[in-house]
Amino acid sequence: ATEEGIRIQGGEIPNPVAMEVDIFFPQSVIADSLIYVPETAKEIQENRDEEIQSLTKVPEWLPMWSILVWILTAALALITFFVISRMIRDRKIVKPVSFHSQPPALIQATIDRVLTQRGLNATILDFIRRGMLRLENDNEGFSFALQGLGKDARPYEASFYDHLHELSRDGKISTTDLVREAENNSQSNNAWIRALNKEIHDERKNIRLGSNYNVYRPVIITAAIVLVFIWIVFFLGNSWLTLIASIIYTIFFVVLLAVSLSPSPGTNEFYDEAEEERKAILSGKGRGSALKQWVNALVLRVKNDQGMALLEGNKSNTETEFIRFLFSKEAERLWFKGTQSPVKNIEEWR
């Protein structure tokens, strides 16, 4: 007997899970005597056994799904080894992308991960250099007369040129027209900018410029979805075998993701050439014509004050004044609302 009541302990109640059974009867329900009913005690024990079995019972679906989890893990391991071996092979056979052979829009989008005002302004200057636009200076500011698309134009350059043609009046478009059009646009909601970015992204993927993620993105996304599925199976089934498979799968996924985010073959050489050209421009030893160097100065993020300093002493003419304009804050209003990305060193772009 205790303060809580009378405790009946032991007996011949079946106890397959080897648990001690304590049964308490409150004093309030006990009169002068207590009659022990074995059937009642046995029923209490059986109910407890059923509750324990329901908690420890393995779901019927778990063995089949555990096998599936291991199969998926093995598949990812094979895919990871395949991707790594292919990257090793590509580094031997894929030729580096030459910085000097690429148009300014693609160079700038590679450096900044997205096309910005600098890339578009540099493309305008490059169109002037290649004879596709004729620069003029009138009372409204600078204007461009369309001279026809060059045969060497890339697809995304053709799309940009078509956009200029749509905005032009009588084959001519001014910077004032561009600013007016840009007032209603931003970099995120501008349909033609998004389309242009996609074309440039596809071109970068085709020439293997950037990270390997551009090439293996479908594989990474599929593997990530399967990763979530595998961990859901573990939490529902709570099996040690599923847990081991989930951990192994996660390790291979992290390795695959890290490999896919590494630079494509030849990309580091591209950045090295870009850095060399940037230093050469600042020292007055850039490659190509003067206009080509100014195009590269824009896409290589030569700061505004550095760009202006390079023009000191140059004879003032329409071309020089336009370059001064492109290095000013006003030029950032030509295409869409927003500001340029902060200037960084090329070492930070990798």
| Residue 300 phi, psi (nearest 5) | -90, 10
Other C-beta atoms lying within 10 Å of the C-beta of residue 343 = 13
Q: What is the pLDDT along the chain (350 residues), one digit of tens a residue?
A: 445 544 555 444 444 444 454 555 455 444 444 455 555 555 666 666 666 555 555 556 667 777 888 888 888 888 888 888 877 777 666 677 788 889 999 999 888 888 888 899 999 999 999 999 999 887 667 899 999 988 889 999 999 999 889 888 888 888 888 888 777 665 555 778 888 888 998 888 888 777 777 777 888 888 889 888 888 888 877 777 788 888 998 998 998 888 887 777 778 888 888 889 988 888 888 888 888 888 998 888 787 677 777 776 666 688 888 888 888 888 877 887 654 444 344 444 44
| CA distance linking residue 128 with residue 320, whole number of Å | 13
CB 208 within 8 Å of CB 264: yes
Q: For the range 322-327, what are the long-range contacts, defined as Cβ-Cβ under 8 Å and sequence gap of 24 or more?
A: 322/125, 322/128, 322/135, 322/137, 322/142, 323/125, 323/294, 325/142, 325/175, 326/121, 326/122, 326/124, 326/125, 326/294, 326/298, 327/298
Phi-psi region of 261 (alpha: psi -120 to 50; beta: other; left: phi over 0): alpha
Picking from 332, 343, 305, 308, the residue whose alpha carbon sits closest to that of residue 116 is 332
Q: Could you report the per-residue pLDDT of 83-108, keeping only the tens digit for each?
A: 888 777 776 666 777 888 899 999 99
pTM: 0.65
- Sign of the CA dihedral running 287, 288, 289, 295: negative
pLDDT at 283: 83
> What single DSSP character describes residue 347?
G
Tokens of 226: 């399967």
Q: Which residues pair with 199 in a beta bridge?
A: none
Q: Could you report the per-residue pLDDT of 185-201, keeping only the tens digit for each?
A: 655 557 788 888 889 98
Return the residue matching tokens 């595998």.
Answer: 230
Residue ranges with strand state E in the chain: 5-9, 22-26, 133-138, 141-146, 172-174
Q: Which residues pair with 5 in a beta bridge?
A: 26
List alpha helices for 113-212, DSSP H: 117-129, 155-167, 175-182, 191-206
Tokens of 332: 């950032």
| CA distance linking residue 331 with residue 179, whole number of Å | 9
| CA distance linking residue 334 with residue 165, whole number of Å | 15
